[in-house]
Amino acid sequence: MKRDKYLYWGFTGLMCIIFTFSALMYLFSYEVAEGYFVRLGFPTWMVYPSAIVKLLGVTAVLSQKSALLKEWAYAGFFFDAVMAFTAHTIVGDGEGGIAAMAIVAVVLSRFFESRVAR
């Protein structure tokens, strides 16, 4: 049980760091984020809303105030990471590693969250 708790917080911490870093890059380096979005084929109007939603998701997961919001955050993180990985793979820029790491972190964080919450 103690091992599961450590694994939960390790994967949750990694997941939150990835999505927080991504959101902060979107907010404070808009031109860089805009370039990524254009290169990957996403509309640039999504940069700021994506940043805000990612920060809200991190808050929902860490605050543990609402199980429903936490589930939505996990789902949003999973779909965001899968879309990012797919886009990087299709474009062939070789930059899908962080997205793959995010997918693993989201899945394992959610898995161990269910084991710790019992």
Contact 110, 74 (CB under 8 A): yes
Q: pTM value? A: 0.92
**Which amino acid is it at 25?**
M
Q: CA 91 → CA 36, 40, 42, distances in Å?
A: 11, 7, 12
Per-residue model confidence as pLDDT tens digits over 35-70: 999 999 999 999 999 999 999 999 999 998 999 999
DSSP state of 85: H
Q: Give the torsion sign (CA, 41, 46, 47, 50).
A: negative
Rounded Cα gap, residues 27 and 9, in angstroms: 26
What is the per-residue pLDDT for 1?
Answer: 81
